[in-house]
Amino acid sequence: MANNNQFVGYLPDDKPPFWKLILYAIQQVIVMFPATVAVAIITGFHISTTIFASGLATLCFVLVTKGQIPLYYGSSFSYVAAIAALMSSDALSGYALNDKIAIAQFGIVMSGFVSIAAGLIVNRFGRDSIEKVLPASITGPIAIVIGLTLAAVAMQDAASIAVDTLGTVRVDEAQVALAKNMAWLVSLSTLISTILFSVYLKGFMRQIPILLGPIVGCVVALIIRAATGIDLFKVLPETANTGFFALPIFTLPKPTWIAVAAIMPIAIATIPESTAHIFQLDIYVNDLAKKKGAKRYPLAEKLGLNLIGDGIGDIVAGFIGGPAGTNYGENISAMAITRVFSVPVLIAAAIIAMVIACFTPLVNAIYSIPAAVIGGLEIYLFGAIAVQGVAIMMDRKVDMFSAKDIAVVATILIIGIGGQYAFGGNIPFFGIEVPTIAGAAIFGILLNLILSIGQKKQS
């Protein structure tokens, strides 16, 4: 018994004491916030609505999965290019913003049915049916690609200086070089302190490094502002000077096939992404359960339920005006680092996100966190996503001496990562723009199926 107590952590059905639960939940909100807001900004969707949709979709995911799977739903970068292209297309050039969003919403809602269909197939024919199409030699490298394709975002944020509502630097031109150096101090302070907290702190404090690290980064930013006058904090244009309480702007989907054609196919990319996430979660939850002497949690066996929940999340988010999404690798990283896998914590995080979306000062407070602080945190979190991809392949014993597995892993990594850095995230292919994660996943799936046929003939 004493040995089990050495491992502090919370399993999916554990409920921490209230004050700890709130701190853990705030930590999860901080983790999901940057990517969720970034997707809203890039696509042109309303920021407060996007935040609210992530919380509501998470609650619906928990309800559909009966609280068995600790995952947080957030806006996915896989859909960004498709949604942004649709929003800025000539076909919608004469539409008002809310009308554009309403049209895109229909494609987002329909994309949810792709994940639901995949989940039903898994439930009908078993997990082996999907593992033949999505073995660890595919889901592992896809997780690596997801993490590493975000590497540039993390480094850019880490060196980012504040901008005002017009998008211009909030420091004198002569101070720009100094400001960038100060941004590095802030991001490195956040990164190093978060790592040190996660490694060296004990007990409860070790479980909130992703809350403590950004606090250190913000304190450093405040000191820099006081000492040099360089302000690295951000201002949120949408909700600045709009009062204390404001409900998000909700819009309803407008059926149109142009949105279905543009957005629905991208759901194919989120299936292996979501599959990789549930396998990641299974590894880390059961590692903690084993160390605590607790029961095993068959999370990987709930893949079908996870995909159905993911699809429901898309439908719910899309129906009220949020971008399409998936369960978040960043939040899984946070849970893996802190060993807090409690579903009640994620429920609280979802509720907090919905409350934040309705209160202008709360939205501004979180969004005003310097980009350099977020960047320092992202270096750790995005890297952890990639590392978890390696863990998947190790846990599933992918044969790295097999010509087939090497071919599948290698091509997914190069197409996914190379496509991101060579073409900015969308690979031009016969007149269409293929999102890198989708392209890498589809190629890997097809290559694996073809090579599997060859293996069957040999046996």
Confidence of residue 166 (pLDDT cuts 50, 70, 90): very low
Q: Are 146 and 440 in contact (CB under 8 A)?
A: no
Judged by DSSP in three states, 107 sits in helix
Look at residue 186 and tell me whether its pLDDT is greater than 90: yes
First and final CA of the chain: distance in angstroms? 49
Q: What pLDDT digit, counting tens, does each position of 102-126 carry?
A: 999 999 999 999 899 989 999 988 8
Q: What pLDDT digit, counting tens, does each position of 41-92 carry?
A: 667 788 889 999 999 999 999 999 999 999 999 887 667 767 877 887 778 8
Ramachandran assignment for 23, one of left (phi > 0), alpha (psi -120 to 50 degrees), beta (any other): alpha
Structural domain boundaries in the chain: 11-453
Q: 138-147, 162-171, 348-357, 441-450 — which is least confidently predicted?
A: 162-171
Q: Which residues contact 333 (CB under 8 A, 6 or more apart)?
A: 31, 380, 381, 384, 385, 388
Which residues share a beta bridge with 245?
359
Q: What pLDDT digit, counting tens, does each position of 315-363 carry?
A: 999 999 999 888 887 888 889 888 999 999 999 999 999 998 998 887 7
The residue behind tokens 């960038």 is: 180
Instruction: Return d(Cα 161, Cα 221) in angstroms, integer.
Output: 11
pLDDT of residue 458: 43
Instruction: Return d(Cα 360, Cα 234) in angstroms, integer.
Output: 14
Rg of the chain in Å (alpha carbons): 22
Q: For 416, which DSSP code?
A: I
Q: What pLDDT digit, counting tens, does each position of 304-316 carry?
A: 999 999 999 999 9
User: What is the length of the chain?
Assistant: 459
Q: What pLDDT digit, counting tens, does each position of 260-296 carry?
A: 877 876 777 677 778 888 988 999 999 999 988 889 9
Which residues share a beta bridge with 19?
none
Confidence of residue 239 (pLDDT cuts 50, 70, 90): very low
Please state the pTM of the whole predicted model: 0.72
Instruction: Return d(Cα 316, Cα 313) in angstroms, integer.
Output: 5
Backbone angles phi, psi at 62, to 5 degrees: -60, -40
What one-letter code names the amino acid at 353?
A
Which residues share a beta bridge with 429?
432
